[in-house]
Structure 1
Amino acid sequence: MDIATANAMTYQEFMDTFGNVVEKCPLITAAVWSKRPFDNFLQLENSVFDFIDALPTSGKQGVLRCHPDLAGRELLSGTLTAESRREQHQAGLTSLKPEERQELSQLNSSYKDKFGFPFVICAKMSEKGKILQQISERVQNSPQQELCQGIEEVKKICHLRLQDIRSLATPTSSLATPTKL
């Protein structure tokens, strides 16, 4: 998909395409749509990041609360978003051994008890061993450190989701060339 296609989308098309670049936060996508036209995908991405950065602490915590527990209830019940399902699968979280699932469940609970939001890591850039290590280490952080780290992970996830969307062909042509970031 090229930036001209994104700029030409109706509100509903834009929401359907970009609505989950930040997990379960379509309000961010709606706000970014109003900033069209974008010169390139980097400008679109930066608009998302600027929106997140401008949120008060409670808003940033809310963004983090929209993320599912890794290998948690939503995965087991089949209610993860398609994007999260693919990302958790890539990280090996859909095929955990019972003892790994138990360990991750306990770590998720400890983390949420301490910070009030789920542990967020870019699963697409990780694997289960790294995830278990990171959650064990990051639960030792201060709430402010972890809020900042979690938001940085959200931005990584968003960046990769936008890259995935860019790699899609435009509706009118399968020969569309992606615009450079």
Structure 2
Amino acid sequence: MDVSAVNALPYEDFVIFFGNVVEKCPLITAAVWAKRPFVSLAALETAISEFIDALPESGKEGILRCHPDLAGRDLQSGTLTRESREEQAGAGMDALNSAEASRMAQLNEEYKQRFGFPFVICARMNDKANILRQLSERCQNERATERARGIAEVKKICRLRLQALVLSDAPNKL
């Protein structure tokens, strides 16, 4: 799909197609549709980032709360979004041994108790060992630091999801 095709998408199709580039937040995609025409994929990504950046801190935390725990209940029950399932599997979150699973559950709970939102990391850019290490380290941060770090990770996830929706070999790609 090239940028002209993206710009030509009716509102409903645009929201369906790009609606989960920010996990369970199609409202963001709905809001940026009005920013068309986009000159590139980078312009669409920038519009999404600017929308997120303009949110109050409570809105940013709301975005973080839409993310599932890594290797958590949703993965075990099969209720993750397709994108999250693929991302977590790629990082090995679906293949933790019992000690890793126990440590992950403990750290996820500690993190959520401390910050009020789940730990967010771009799983596609990490493996399970690095995720466990970062989760442990980031539990020590201040709330504002973690909120900003989580939003930065959301933006990485968004970028990769946008790229995955576009054919990489297409001429005039987004």
Aligned-partner SS, 1:37 = coil
1:167 and 1:178 in contact (8 A); partners too? no
- Greater shift, 5-14 or 82-91, is seen at 5-14
Distance 2:171 2:163 in 1: 13
Cα RMSD, aligned residues only: 1.2
Distance 2:113 2:163 in 1: 33
2:167 and 2:173 in contact (8 A); partners too? no
Alignment partner, residue 91 of structure 1: 91
> Stretches of 4+ moved more than 3 A in 1?
none
2:69 and 2:118 in contact (8 A); partners too? yes
Distance 1:29 1:42 in 2: 14
Alignment partner, residue 28 of structure 2: 28
Alignment partner, residue 177 of structure 1: 171
User: 1:105-139 CA deviation, whole Å, 9 max, x = no partner?
Assistant: 00000000000000000000000000000000000
Alignment partner, residue 165 of structure 1: 165
Distance 1:62 1:86, change over 3 A: same
Distance 1:61 1:78 in 2: 25
Distance 2:105 2:171 in 1: 43
Alignment partner, residue 51 of structure 1: 51
Alignment partner, residue 126 of structure 1: 126
User: 1:80-103 CA deviation, whole Å, 9 max, x = no partner?
Assistant: 000000000000001111111110
Q: What are the ranges of 5 or more consecutive residues in structure 1 without an aligned counterpart?
A: 169-174
Distance 1:158 1:93 in 2: 19
Alignment partner, residue 171 of structure 1: none
Aligned-partner SS, 2:117 = coil
Alignment partner, residue 82 of structure 2: 82
Alignment partner, residue 115 of structure 1: 115
- Aligned-pair CA distance for 1:51: 0.3
Aligned-partner SS, 2:37 = coil
Q: How does 1:56-71 map to 2 (within 5 A)?
A: 56-71=56-71
Q: What are the ranges of 5 or more consecutive residues in structure 2 without an aligned counterpart?
A: none
Alignment partner, residue 7 of structure 1: 7
User: 1:57-96 CA deviation, whole Å, 9 max, x = no partner?
Assistant: 0000000000000000000010000000000000000111
The one-letter code of the counterpart of 2:104 is L
Alignment partner, residue 150 of structure 1: 150
Distance 2:69 2:167 in 1: 28
Distance 1:97 1:131, change over 3 A: same
Distance 1:125 1:134 in 2: 12
May I ask how many residue pairs the two structures share in their alignment? 174
Distance 2:70 2:167 in 1: 26
Identity of aligned residues (%): 58
